[in-house]
């Protein structure tokens, strides 16, 4: 039976109006912008009584003979009904109330206002007020739960909140609506409504649909929608029986649904299409009264005469309004669409999609129990199979115990590192160090653009993407594309091998049916594809199949660099948002070799967002938190937090900063940024922290060199030595810092990390700053190190002399003996030197009693620069040209200690030489000597030997001229003379010195040393000292030390 | 000074380019440039950037200030303030012209940027004229103008100096007191 639409009549001046029935159904009560509440005895009443409540009335509610109104003077007032006597002010807000409503028995009033508050006031006692804070914008509407426990409110901030009235807290909150700043700007008034009697369902108008939420679980049960409603739904209202729901939209459409069947029972359109802003059911449920924003009141009569109603009649009756076909379609088409809607809502309400499985379970449980309740709320086909497992009648007990432990994380999908998500129409399929592959998925055209960073590699390519490729990789040799399988076609792999010299540049491989390519990559002359069958298939770049091997889990991504292949896969199920990933690093040179198989560290609750290799070849991973971690055999977690950067291409920390979004747009083309790489050490604001950070970063980057060289890759030796040098320099700086802070223990710790010749420098530094105890400890370390390295070297030499080994074992034994002897001697000389250091202090203290050790130290400080400055500056110029460190670094390095020893022993000899001199120079003389060794141990020696050579030749002359000079003054004087020589002369001296030392250092040295009665012992050490020249580290450090 | 000379000076400014070739460091008198890695931004002087761009060897990364929002903000500020506001680059006009003329394909919304920079320029030049006017009107001996760029100074230099010279000559021939009337409509 159709309802009858009565002609509308003028009720109020234009503006927002509200309407309700009194409980008897006799009166229609309206309020409007004119500030009057009119009481109509039926719509035909030409002379309604009216009560003036204020300048404007925003909202009203009627129950138990009391009328509550929200008026423009920011108050909520009570009037008696139907007399219209003022009954006091219930509450006040700071601005006007927007909506007021009674609870079911009329004891409480809820009011929402523009000052973001919701208040619940006891009608009899207006002092009993409860305020609900939490909305961040004007409140649109409020509604009571019929059981009087809950209160729901909607607000302009887009939220719909259900409150517990007693506890005054939020039970649940959805962000469903569009945000606005004021009620007048809100698209919809969003009048919510709880289902009468049971309060089982809460109806919320959301856009052009009505969402029904279930009490307690607050899950989204269903959505009611209608094709006629194209504009936002303004108001919803339940019929008094609770089975029907009327909704009125901004477009003036009023629709009534049967909630259980979700059938549309009634569709009516406002005769002028004005916005309907209020609807109310008559207590009998037979009439529906509505008002619009123009102040008119309308009435639908005979809505759903309950018994005789049949959906078909309605459809037929509205044939003039709707197309019959469309109507039928709609009714049928609704059910399949619903679940989809539900899904959308789930995601839009911010629930994590991955929990959907659990939600589904919840839903099915609850719908089951719902059906058992006396409510007779029938939920049909549309609830994700919930009805299929509906339990037999019985008390609503949960079917399964609810699992409350850690939730498994859904495994991360496979992806290509350096790509943007596949659902974008314009996306980067790959951006790496070679080039960019862009995919366009516009309607008319589906294409792939390939662009190379280096135009010398190949010109750009434009490929049509008829197969729908989703994955791509690009290398110096080829472009690799893969598409997932469709119903007809199996997954295909296409390789454009552009560097091939024959005419067939392209090859295609079909994967077996049912196997999908999940991830792929290009290495040097191989192609790797990980498939859904947990296989990793290898092809040559020309298209030959190579090994196939199984992966132990679903692949996440693969990446290759040179002959290395890095595979990330799921090791198991992660919990609570964490992923459990594993990484395999393979070397594929001749035969496959597993280098590394370990769990992949990630930040908590993050996913892997990139994996690949640095320009140096270190495999690195980046997680969604922006942490960069190199994957090395011995490395823990390192990296630095960099949010909002999408690491598209990483040679080393080259990324594309994304403004605001997670993925960069294809146009305009994003610029690559090079980011600094930092390690997350503590206290990086302090100098110490900074240096520690620098040191470990350098160590980290350096570490991979060893791996590479062991794999036979070419390595940049210069870079390697550079980083070594830098590390030692940093260590020395840290040493100096902790020395300054009197952290001697820390100094020793640092010294443990230093190479041996840097330790000697450290000893010097320590003794210079008057820390003799420290110096002593350090020299012990130095000794240990010397021995260690010596042994290493021995092993090396024995290894190398395999050829000569078979000559005669005896000779070798002799050699070894020799070396052992050497060692012994070193051990001997070392303590001597230590004595020296201690002696340095003690005689002074004892003899020169008054002057403590300190001034002596400064004395050394003064001396050293004087002696050193000239050779150093010249050497520092030389260092720049100095050739790259020889790969045999360890060997010469190990000898530096002996340089030191030799120097100290030479001091001995010198002392012996100058035996005839008085005591004073004797004590002074050795002091400069601990200083020279380490600078001298390297290139510095060269220019100095030039000078020395000159000195040797001219010493006598100088001595003859000024016989009273002691050793240091002599050298000073000699230095002055040497400098005054012409450049060519000096050069020739240097040349000669070089020639001599280069050809046979013994020639020059030996006579001198033989004289000193130290004999062959010295020469041995001397030659080893010469070898030490090649060490480049110390020279830099010495530069530092004397700066 | 010729505007082209000012432009020449501006070509020393540094911009970032993304080369599509690889080349080791090049050592020039003005400093070392590079190394150039394809796909990685590198800072080079404008003259080199333009040269490479013309040979299609690189794409130019527009300077940070060459951005619609920033320029709009600047324009508003420039219009609001009576004095000259600091400009993002001392060669903003020259750089805009050079970069937009040669590599508008690398710069998003090139036309809008051109308009905005022209607006800023016009506003500043109007201010400059106004201040020159009041300078002459009030017969001040000196004036201080901050935040002027070389190009702006250059545009007004010839005219201002000549006219001041001229006026000086005229004034030195005239009786004191009558000058004001003479130049009030200047």
The rounded distance, in Å, linking the Cα atoms of A96 and A138 is 10
How sure is the predictor about A675, in pLDDT bands with cuts at 50, 70 and 90?
low
Assigned domain for B165 exists: yes
Residues 394-433 of A with CB under 8 A from B: 433
In terms of residue numbers, what domain contains B113? 3-175
CB contact under 8 Å between A668 and B40, yes or no, is no
* Banded pLDDT at B120 (limits 50, 70, 90): very high
The per-residue pLDDT for range A779-806, each reduced to its tens digit, is: 888 888 888 877 877 765 654 444 444 4
Which residues 38-77 of B are in CB contact (within 8 Å) with A? 38-41, 56-57, 59, 61
Q: In the predicted model, is pLDDT for residue A642 greater than 90?
A: no
Q: How far apart are the CA of B154 and the nearest CA of chain A, in angstroms?
A: 35
B182 lies in some domain: no
In chain A, residues with a C-beta closer than 8 Å to the C-beta of B105 are: none
Residue B62 lies inside a defined structural domain of this protein: yes
Taking the CA of residue A476 and the nearest CA in chain B, the distance in Å comes to: 12
The answer to whether the Cβ–Cβ distance between B16 and A671 falls below 8 Å is yes
- Cβ distance A671 to B22 less than 8 Å, yes or no, reads no
Do A454 and B40 lie within an 8 Å CB cutoff? no
Q: Which of B18, B20, B22 sits opposite A672 (nearest CB)?
A: B18
CA Rg value for chain B: 21
User: Which residues of chain B neighbour A670 with C-beta distances below 8 Å?
Assistant: none
Residue B31 maps to a domain: yes
B97 occurs within a structural domain: yes
Q: Is residue B184 part of a domain?
A: no
Q: Is some CB atom of chain B closer than 8 A to the CB atom of A452?
A: yes
Transcribe A404-472 into DSSP letters. Answer: -SPPBPPPPPP--TT---TTSSEEEEEE-SSEEEEEEE-SS-EEEEEEESSTTT---EEEE-TT---EE
Q: Is there a domain that residue B18 lies in?
A: yes
Give the pLDDT band of residue A1039 (cuts 50, 70, 90). Answer: low
What pLDDT score does B97 carry? 92
Q: Is the pTM here over 0.80, yes or no?
A: no
Give the N- to C-terminal CA distance of chain A in Å, as an integer.
103
Nearest CA in chain B to A433: B39
Contacts of A454 in chain B (CB under 8 A): 20-22, 38-39
Cβ–Cβ below 8 Å for A651 and B16: no
d(CA A885, CA A939): 12
Name which of B18, B40, B108 is nearest A668 (Cβ-Cβ): B108
Contact across the interface for B21 and A435, Cβ inside 8 Å: no
CB contact under 8 A, B41 and A674: yes
Mean of pLDDT over chain A? 69
Flag if A671 and B18 touch (Cβ within 8 Å): yes
- Interval A579-592: pLDDT, tens: 888 888 888 877 77
Structural domain count of chain B: 1
Q: Do the beta carbons of residue A198 and residue A207 sit within 8 Å? A: no
User: Domains of chain A, with CATH numbers?
Assistant: 11-301 (2.130.10.10), 426-633+646-653 (2.130.10.10), 692-791 (no CATH)
Interface touch A453/B57, C-beta < 8 Å = no
Tokens (6 digits) for B38: 């394809």
Instruction: Give B-chain residues touching A435 at CB under 8 angstroms.
Output: 39
| 3-state secondary structure (DSSP) of residue B14 | strand
Does residue B104 fall inside a structural domain?
A: yes
Looking at residue A429, what is its pLDDT? 83
Q: A849-908, pLDDT tens digit by residue?
A: 333 333 333 333 333 333 333 333 333 333 333 333 333 333 333 333 434 444 444 444
**Contacts A–B by Cβ distance under 8 A:** 41
Separation CA A922–CA A722 (nearest Å): 40
Buried b (16+ CB within 10 A) or exposed e, A805-831: eeeeeeebeeeeeebeebbebbeebbe
- Specify the higher pLDDT residue, A583 or A822: A583
Q: Which of B21, B59, B108 sits opposite A454 (nearest CB)?
A: B21
pLDDT tier for residue A969 given thresholds of 50, 70 and 90: confident
What gap in Å lies between CA B64 and CA B80, rounded to an integer?
Answer: 23
With CA atoms as reference, the chain A residue closest to B37 would be: A454
| Segment B79-112, tens digit of pLDDT | 998 889 998 889 999 999 999 999 888 888 889 9
B147 — contact with chain A (CB < 8 Å)? no
Question: What residues contact residue A349 under an 8 Å CB cut-off, 6+ apart?
Answer: A174, A175, A176, A220
Rounded to an integer, what distance in angstroms lies between the CA atom of residue A343 and that of residue A362? 14
Cis geometry, peptide bond prior to residue A645 (ω within 30 degrees of 0) = no
Where does the pLDDT of residue A778 fall: very low under 50, low under 70, confident under 90, or very high at 90 and above? confident
User: 3-state DSSP call for residue B58?
Assistant: strand
pLDDT at residue A892 in the model = 38
DSSP collapsed to 3 states, A361-417: HHHHHHHHHHHHCCCCCCCCCCCCCCHHHCCCCCCCCCCCCCCCCCCECCCCCCCCC
Q: How confident is the model at residue B78 (pLDDT cuts 50, 70, 90)?
A: very high
* pLDDT one-digit tens code per residue, A349-386: 333 434 433 434 444 334 333 344 444 444 444 444 33
CATH number at residue B151: 1.20.58.1020
Q: B41 contacts in A (CB within 8 Å)? A: 671-674
The residue ranking higher by pLDDT, A155 or A654, is A155
Q: A669: which chain B residues are within 8 Å (Cβ-Cβ)? A: 59
Rounded to an integer, what is the distance from CA A940 to the centroid of its chain? 48
Is B38–A673 a contact, with Cβ atoms under 8 angstroms apart? no
pLDDT at A28: 86
Inter-chain touch A672–B39, beta carbons under 8 Å:
yes
> Which among A456, A669, A672 has CB closest to B41?
A672
Q: pLDDT tens across A409-426, in order?
A: 888 888 888 777 777 777
Instruction: Sort out which chain A residues have CB atoms less than 8 A from B16's CB and list them.
Output: 671
Q: What is the pLDDT of residue A1040?
A: 53
Contact A674 B40 (CB under 8 A): yes
Q: Which of A452, A457, A654 sits opposite B40 (nearest CB)?
A: A654
Does B18 contact A at CB distance below 8 Å? yes
Per the CB < 8 Å rule, is A454 touching B16?
no
Mutation test of the interface with chain A: which of B16, B18, B20, B43, choosing the one with the most A Cβ atoms within 10 A?
A: B20
Select the more confidently predicted residue: A623 or A635: A623
A456 to chain B: closest CA residue: B21
How many Å lie between the alpha carbon of A402 and the closest alpha carbon of chain B? Answer: 54
Interface test with A, best of B35, B39, B55, B108 (most A CBs within 10 A): B39
In the numeric block, which tokens belong to residue A553? Answer: 């889990």
């Amino acid at each position: 039976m159709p309802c009858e639409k009565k002609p509308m009549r003028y009720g109020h001046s234009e503006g927002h109006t509200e309407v309700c029935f009194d409980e008897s159904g006799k009166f229609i009560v309206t309020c409007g912008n004119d500030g009057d509440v009119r009481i109509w005895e039926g719509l035909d009443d030409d002379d309604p009584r009216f009560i003036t409540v204020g300048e404007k009335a925003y909202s009203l509610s009627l129950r138990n003979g009391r009328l509550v109104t929200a008026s423009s003077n920011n108050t909520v007032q009570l009037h008696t009904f139907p007399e219209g006597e003022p009954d006091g002010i219930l509450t006040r807000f700071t601005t006007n109330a927007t909506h007021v409503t009674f609870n079911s028995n009329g004891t409480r009033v809820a009011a929402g206002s523009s000052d973001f508050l919701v208040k619940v006031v006891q009608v009899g006692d207006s002092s009993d007020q409860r305020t609900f804070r939490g909305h961040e914008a004007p409140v649109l509407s409020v509604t009571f739960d019929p059981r009087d426990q809950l209160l729901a409110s909607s607000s302009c901030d887009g939220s719909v909140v259900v409150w517990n009235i007693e506890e005054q807290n939020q039970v649940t909150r959805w962000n469903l609506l569009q945000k606005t700043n004021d009620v007048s700007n809100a698209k919809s008034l969003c009048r919510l409504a709880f289902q009468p009697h049971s309060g089982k369902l809460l109806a919320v108008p959301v856009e052009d649909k009505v969402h029904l939420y279930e009490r307690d679980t607050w899950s989204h049960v269903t959505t009611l929608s209608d094709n006629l409603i194209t504009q936002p739904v303004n108001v919803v209202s339940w019929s008094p029986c609770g089975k029907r729901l009327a909704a009125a939209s901004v477009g003036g459409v009023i629709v009534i649904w049967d909630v259980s069947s979700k059938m549309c029972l009634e569709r009516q359109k406002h005769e002028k299409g004005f916005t309907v802003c209020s609807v109310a059911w008559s207590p009998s449920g037979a009439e529906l009264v509505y008002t619009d924003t123009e102040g008119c009141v309308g009435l639908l009569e005979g809505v759903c005469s309950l018994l005789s109603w049949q959906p078909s009649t309605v459809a037929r009756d509205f044939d003039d309004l709707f197309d019959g076909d469309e109507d039928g379609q709609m009714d049928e088409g609704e059910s399949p669409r619903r679940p989809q809607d539900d899904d959308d809502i789930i995601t839009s309400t911010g629930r994590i999609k991955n929990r959907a499985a659990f939600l589904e379970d919840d839903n099915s449980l609850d719908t089951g129990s719902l059906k058992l309740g006396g409510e007779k709320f029938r939920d049909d086909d549309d609830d994700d199979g919930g009805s299929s497992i509906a339990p037999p009648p019985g008390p609503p007990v949960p079917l399964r115990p609810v699992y409350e432990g850690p939730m498994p994380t859904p495994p991360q999908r496979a992806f290509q590192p350096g790509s943007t998500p596949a659902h974008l129409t314009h996306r980067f399929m790959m951006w790496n160090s070679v080039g960019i592959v862009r995919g366009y998925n516009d309607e008319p055209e589906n294409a792939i653009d390939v662009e190379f960073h280096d135009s010398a590699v190949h010109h750009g390519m434009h490929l049509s993407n008829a197969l729908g490729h989703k994955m791509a990789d690009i290398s110096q040799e080829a472009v690799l594309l893969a598409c997932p399988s469709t119903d007809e076609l199996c997954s295909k792999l296409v390789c454009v091998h552009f560097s091939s010299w024959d005419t067939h540049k392209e090859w295609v491989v079909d994967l077996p049916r049912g196997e999908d390519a999940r991830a792929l990559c290009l290495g040097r002359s191989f192609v790797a594809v990980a498939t859904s069958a947990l296989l990793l298939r290898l092809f040559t770049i020309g298209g030959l199949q190579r090994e196939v091997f199984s992966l132990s889990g679903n692949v996440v991504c693969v990446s290759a660099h040179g002959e290395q292949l890095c595979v990330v896969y799921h090791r198991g199920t992660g919990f609570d948002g964490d992923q459990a990933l594993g990484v395999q690093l393979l070397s594929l040179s001749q035969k496959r070799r597993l280098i590394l198989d370990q769990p992949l560290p990630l930040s908590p609750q993050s996913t892997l967002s990139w994996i690949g290799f640095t320009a140096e070849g270190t495999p690195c991973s980046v997680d969604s938190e922006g942490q960069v971690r190199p994957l090395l055999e011995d490395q823990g977690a390192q990296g630095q937090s960099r949010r909002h950067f999408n690491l598209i291409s990483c040679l080393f920390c080259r990324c594309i900063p994304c403004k605001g979004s997670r993925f960069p747009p294809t146009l305009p083309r994003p610029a690559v940024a090079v980011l600094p790489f930092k390690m997350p050490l503590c206290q990086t604001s302090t100098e110490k922290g900074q240096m520690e950070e620098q040191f470990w970063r350098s160590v980290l980057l350096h570490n991979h060199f060893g791996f590479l060289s062991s794999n036979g890759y070419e390595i940049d030796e210069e870079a390697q030595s550079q980083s070594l040098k830098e590390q030692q320099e940093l260590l020395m700086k840290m040493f100096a810092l902790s020395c300054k802070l009197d952290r001697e223990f820390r100094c020793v710790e640092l010294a443990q990390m230093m190479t041996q010749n840097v330790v000697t420098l450290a000893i010097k530094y320590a003794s210079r700053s008057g820390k003799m105890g420290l110096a002593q400890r350090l020299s012990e370390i130095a000794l240990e190190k010397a021995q260690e390295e010596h042994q290493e070297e021995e092993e090396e030499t024995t290894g190398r002399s395999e050829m000569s080994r078979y000559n005669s074992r005896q000779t070798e034994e002799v050699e070894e003996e020799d070396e052992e002897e050497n060692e012994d001697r070193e051990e001997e000389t070392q303590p001597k030197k230590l004595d020296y250091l201690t002696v340095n202090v003690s005689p002074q203290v004892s003899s020169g009693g008054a002057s403590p050790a300190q001034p002596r130290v400064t004395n050394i400080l003064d001396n050293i620069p004087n002696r050193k400055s000239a050779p150093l500056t010249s050497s520092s110029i030389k260092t720049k040209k100095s050739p790259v460190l020889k790969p045999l670094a360890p060997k010469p390095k190990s000898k530096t200690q002996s340089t030191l020893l030799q120097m100290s022993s030479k001091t001995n000899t010198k002392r012996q030489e100058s035996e005839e001199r008085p005591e004073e120079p004797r004590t002074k003389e050795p002091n400069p000597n601990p200083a020279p060794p380490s600078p001298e141990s390297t290139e510095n020696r060269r220019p100095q030997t030039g000078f020395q050579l000159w000195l040797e030749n001219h010493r006598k002359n100088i001595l003859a001229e000024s016989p009273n000079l002691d050793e240091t003054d002599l050298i000073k004087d000699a230095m002055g003379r040497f400098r005054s020589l012409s450049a060519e002369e000096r050069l020739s001296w240097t040349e000669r010195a070089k020639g001599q030392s280069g050809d046979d250092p013994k020639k020059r040295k030996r006579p001198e040393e033989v004289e000193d009665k130290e004999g062959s012992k010295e020469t041995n050490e001397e030659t080893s000292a010469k070898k030490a020249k090649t060490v480049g580290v110390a020279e830099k450090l010495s530069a530092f030390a004397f700066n | 000074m010729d505007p082209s000379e000012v432009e020449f000076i501006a070509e020393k400014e540094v911009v970032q380019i993304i080369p599509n070739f690889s080349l080791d460091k090049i050592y020039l008198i003005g400093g070392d440039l590079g190394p150039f890695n394809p796909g990685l931004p590198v800072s080079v002087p404008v003259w080199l950037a333009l040269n490479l761009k013309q040979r299609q060897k690189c794409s130019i990364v527009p300077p940070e200030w060459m951005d619609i929002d920033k320029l709009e903000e600047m324009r508003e500020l420039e219009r609001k303030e009576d004095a000259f506001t600091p400009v993002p680059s001392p060669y903003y006009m020259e750089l805009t012209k050079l970069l937009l003329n040669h590599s508008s394909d690398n710069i998003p919304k090139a036309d809008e940027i051109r308009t905005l920079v022209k607006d800023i320029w016009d506003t500043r030049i109007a201010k400059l004229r106004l201040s020159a006017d009041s300078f002459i009107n009030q017969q001040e001996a000196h004036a201080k103008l901050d935040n002027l760029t070389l190009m702006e100074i250059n545009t007004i230099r010839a005219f201002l100096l000549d006219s001041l010279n001229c006026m000086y000559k005229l004034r030195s021939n005239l009786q004191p007191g009558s000058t004001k009337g003479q130049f009030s409509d200047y």
